[in-house]
A and B are shown apart, each in its own frame.
Chain A
Amino acid sequence: MSPLTTYTLNIEELIRACLLEDRSAQKRLFEIYAPSMMTLCRRYTRDRYEAEDVMQDGFIKIFKNLNQYSNEGSFEGWMKRIMINIALKKKTKKSYTNEISGIEDYNHISIMPDIFSAMSADELLVLISKLPEGYRNVFSLYVVEGYSHKEIGKLLKIGESTSRSQLVKARKMLQEQILTLQKQAV
């Protein structure tokens, strides 16, 4: 099998080599996707260590189940779904049900987009990671991954209304955290 250095960024070729359990190909695939997957894992975990655990389990699962990838759709999207599923499996439904409250309380909140624009991605990640587990997951799934509330409800085994509620509260909490940081900076 070709050595690691000979692999180009041709993902299909890399996947075929990985299916043959070529260790250098697997390493190359890991190196290509690990940085973005790490970002994804951080969005669903509380800290870097937890994120690394999820990512490690995710890559092992990816390599073991690579034959299930049907070449339809984005390979990165397929990997992301595996990572998200592993991250969410570590959570419990209790995390969401305990955080339910009336959505009406937050209808009046005005979000200021400029606040988010002013922040770096890493700062934003840190703030998201500080959100309660339920808020964090719903926020990441909806805002970043682009899942619908219906999909989120199915994925997290919660109601759609709960997902909406969690999202509103997550946004509110994020805004409060950003304002606090701004006040501290001033």
Chain B
Amino acid sequence: MYDEIIRAKLNGIESEYSPNMWESIERKLDNKKPKVSPWFAISTLGALILTSIICIAVIYSSAEKVFDVQHRIHDNEQEVCEPVIVASATISTKQLLSTDERKESEKVNDAVQKTTSISKAQSLNINHAPILILQLSEEDEQPLENPIILSYIDEAEDIWIREKRIISSAEDFERMDRIIYAPISKISNVDVELKSSYRSLNLDDSMTLPID
């Protein structure tokens, strides 16, 4: 019974609404329509595609140039570097001892300079040239089976001793049949330390034989 009352009441009434509601609806209805003409849309799209193609072409050509430059740089580097690259080799002590050629001696000297303990000339009580420098074992700093003897007479004269004579008067060195030559500039800064056994050799001037 009361349903009819309520229905009659509510169906009969009208409610107020916001005065600008129609404007909102109209705006939304207008939004569904395209605001630009199809021709404008097509021309805009075409322009966009054209711009994209140009951009891609520019980027591609730029990239090509960059790669080309990189290739050239790489080629140049190879050209420059190839002669520079030198194979570095570690030369063992035995290798050092196996040669008596001058060039080999220089290489050996480099290695010796870096890796060996070498006595100072003064430690051997040698007051004047030639200076004898004995190479010791790298491991225990004991004398090698065939110690290397580095020698020079005069840095200024740059004269090289290459005879066995330099040690021939010292019996202890007679068995050392190889003498490694090295320029003083390459061995002067070598920090050396000699074992007492070598100090006891008591080398004197007699050892320093005249040079050729």
Which stretch in A31-39, A86-94, A155-163 binds the other chain?
A31-39
Complex Cα distance, B16 from A55, in Å, reads 12
The answer to whether the Cβ of A105 comes within 8 Å of any Cβ in the partner chain is no
Flag whether B188 is at the interface (Cβ < 8 A). no
Q: Does A144 contact B (CB under 8 A)?
A: yes
* A26, A27, A56, A111, most chain B CB atoms within 10 A: A56
Chain A neighbourhood of B13, CB < 8 A: 39, 121-122, 125
Q: Given A116-B6, A143-B7, is A30 in contact with B25 using a C-beta cutoff of 8 Å?
A: yes
Known: A38-B14, A144-B11. 10 other contacts (CB 8 A): A23-B29, A34-B22, A36-B14, A43-B10, A59-B25, A121-B10, A122-B13, A124-B10, A125-B15, A128-B10
Q: How far is the CB of B123 from chain A (nearest CB, A)?
A: 100
Q: How far is the CA of A52 from the CA of B16 in the complex (A)?
A: 10
Question: Whole-angstrom distance between the alpha carbons of A117 and B1 in the complex?
Answer: 11
B 1-19 contacts with A by CB, 8 A: 1-3, 5-7, 9-18
- Closest A residue by C-beta to B23: A27
Which of the residues A36, A51, A55, A113 comes within 8 Å of B1, measured between beta carbons?
A: A113
Residues of B at the A interface (CB closer than 8 Å) are 1-3, 5-7, 9-18, 21-22, 24-26, 28-29, 32
Query: With the chains together, A31 CA to B29 CA distance in Å?
Result: 16
Check B25 against A38 for contact (C-beta < 8 Å). no
Choose among A36, A39, A43 the residue with the greatest number of B CB atoms under 10 Å from its CB.
A39
Contacts of B9 in A (CB 8 A): 116, 119-121, 124
CB < 8 Å: which of B15, B16, B22 contacts A30?
B22
Interchain CB contact under 8 A, B29 and A117: no
Which of A42, A52, A111, A113 interacts with B21 by CB under 8 Å?
A52
The dominant DSSP class at the B interface is helix
The residues of B that contact A102 with a CB separation of less than 8 Å are none
Which of A52, A64, A120, A125 contacts B17, CB < 8 Å?
A: A52
Tell me whether B7 and A56 are in contact (CB under 8 A): no
Check if B3 sits within 8 Å of A56, measured CB to CB: no
Q: Tell me the nearest residue of chain A to B10, going by C-beta.
A: A144
Q: 0/1 per residue, A100-143, Cβ < 8 Å to B?
A: 00000000000111011101111011001000000000000011
Find chain A residues with CB under 8 A from B25 CB.
30, 56, 59-60, 63
B5: chain A residues within 8 A (beta carbon): 113, 116-117
Given the complex of chains A and B, what is the CA–CA distance between A42 and B18 in angstroms?
13
A30-B25, A56-B24 known; A38 vs B17 contact (CB < 8 Å): yes
A59–B27 CA distance with the chains assembled, in angstroms? 12
Shortest CB distance A176–B (Å): 15
Contacts of B21 in A (CB 8 A): 34, 52, 55-56
- List B contacts of A42 (CB < 8 A): 15
A117 to B3, CA, bound (A): 10
CB<8 Å pairs between A and B, sample of 20: A23-B26, A27-B22, A27-B26, A31-B22, A36-B15, A38-B16, A38-B17, A52-B21, A55-B17, A56-B25, A56-B28, A64-B32, A113-B1, A116-B5, A116-B6, A116-B9, A117-B2, A121-B10, A121-B13, A124-B10
